[in-house]
Amino acid sequence: MSVLVMKFGGTSVATLDRIRRAAKRVGVEVAKGHDVIVIVSAMSGETNKLVGLVEDTSPLFDAREYDAVVSSGENVTAGLMALTLQEMDIPARSWQGWQVPVKTTSAHASARIEDIPPANITAKFAEGMKVAVVAGFQGISPEGRITTLGRGGSDTTAVAFAAAFGAVRCDIYTDVDGVYTTDPRICEKARKLDRIAFEEMLEMASLGAKVLQTRSVELAMRYKVPLRVLSSFEEMDDAAGTLVCDEEEIMESNIVAGVAHSRDEAKMTLVSVADRPGIAAAIFTPLAEAGVNVDMIVQNISEDGRTDMTFSCPTNQVARAEKAMEDAKAKGEINFHGIVADTNVAKVSVVGIGMRSAAGVAAKFFRVLADEGINIQVITTSEIKISVLIERKYMELAVQALHDAFELDKAS
């Protein structure tokens, strides 16, 4: 029997009425003859509430206990979804991560899936179960502790299950009807894409697009999982949503596929660091060990044997980064005169596989921002993206201006 994976995000299961709506969609796929694995997120707002409780209790929290608390939201949704399906006379059962089991690393709050043995769920399908409702975002470590996969981890759970079970497709249901050229809430000219390449989606996700978690796209690309993003609030249609696929499956595309942004960025500068071999490793190793997600890095010109080192990280990791640096300084591993944290910045990026072979994209990008009077603080590039840090108050203006300049409202 073919297996279909369906993932419902927090807004899709925010109330009992929405859970019933989602369950009806599952019922349609069961009627087509599929065995269905449903991955659910916590009800909308629940994870933020749980995270807030943890942070209010312990700002520098024990990540193991963080996982124990924050993972509970998905358990509630899974149970309610299974009960709803049972009321529809569809044989369903809820599964927590440890029951499958979803085997992960021990990196609490950002664990990575290592294996999903299909035997337990497959055996239940053979016994007549038609739907396995799995709590997303969570797994179990080698030590037997509950782990979580990072925010948005239910997307990764869904793609991992699709790969492990050889699913015919992985459908990600959310509150938007696909992947757009940019955030429609910022730019009214944003256009829904029928298809987007894995690489483009990976960059968009890593740069702030909230549609899919970065690691879910990584997994889909690695295991060639057919991945579709669509709305749980619109009528079902086989052609609905956006297909995330191989570059070869896209006949023609714009040079730039989309504009991404992230307002939750901080710029941190270590002032007057010794400029010597190994200093970068001495700085970024403690940050990595503290779980700080460093993105953009700039080292200023050395003066009198000392330099400034600037990097960006999420705003909610600033305190953790400061502590890691102060601890490293106390141990004599690094020496600096001070730490300056600027949480009033945003990251804006353009992404497109067409940039590999097109000249002038960077020049156009920088000219657009200059014409709007927007100062660039940090720049980073790859062959298919350009990202900058700018003052946060200019973020929406930058997104709109770049979207217009690259004519992303028009199909190729």
192 labelled ligand-binding: no
CA distance 256 to 259: 8
Could you identify the residue written with the tokens 């609030």?
A: 233
Q: Is 74 annotated as a binding residue?
A: yes
| Beta bridge pairs of residue 269 | 310, 340
Instruction: Locate 156 and state its tokens.
Output: 């990764």
Of 125, 126, 117, nearest to 99 by C-alpha is 117
Residues with Cβ < 8 Å from 314, sequence gap 6 or more? Answer: 264, 265, 266, 293
Tell me how far CA of residue 387 lies from CA of 90, 194, 245, in angstroms.
48, 24, 23
Q: The tokens 């020049």 sit on which residue? A: 363
Of residues 320, 2, 258, 14, the one with CA closest to residue 130 = 2
Q: In the numeric block, which tokens belong to residue 332?
A: 């004599």
Measured CA to CA, the distance from residue 180 to residue 191 in angstroms comes to: 5
Contact 139, 101 (CB under 8 A): yes
* Residue 128, marked binder: no
380 is in an annotated binding site: no
**CA atoms of 195 and 349, how far apart (whole Å):** 20
| 47 annotated among ligand-binding-site residues | yes
Whether residue 130 is annotated as binding a ligand: the answer is no
Neighbours of 285 (CB within 10 A): 15
Please tell me what DSSP assigns to residue 355.
Answer: G
- 3-class state of residue 133 by DSSP: strand
Q: Is 305 annotated as a binding residue?
A: no
**CA distance linking residue 31 with residue 189, whole number of Å:** 38
| Beta-strand relationship, 242-245 and 195-197 | parallel
Rg of the chain on CA atoms, in Å:
23
* 174 annotated as a binding-site residue: yes
Instruction: For residue 10, say whether it is annotated as part of any ligand binding site.
Output: yes
Is 223 annotated to bind a ligand? Reply is no
Contacts of residues 286-290 at CB distance under 8 Å and 24 or more positions apart, as own/partner, are 286/324, 286/325, 286/327, 286/328, 286/333, 287/311, 287/313, 287/321, 287/324, 287/325, 289/324, 290/320, 290/321, 290/323, 290/324
**8 belongs to an annotated ligand binding site:** yes
Identity (one letter) of the amino acid at 103? K
> Is residue 210 marked as binding?
yes
- Residues contributing to the annotated binding site: 7-10, 47, 74, 174-175, 180, 185, 210-211
- Residues contributing to the annotated binding site for ATP: 7-10, 174-175, 180, 185, 210-211
- Residues contributing to the annotated binding site for substrate: 47, 74
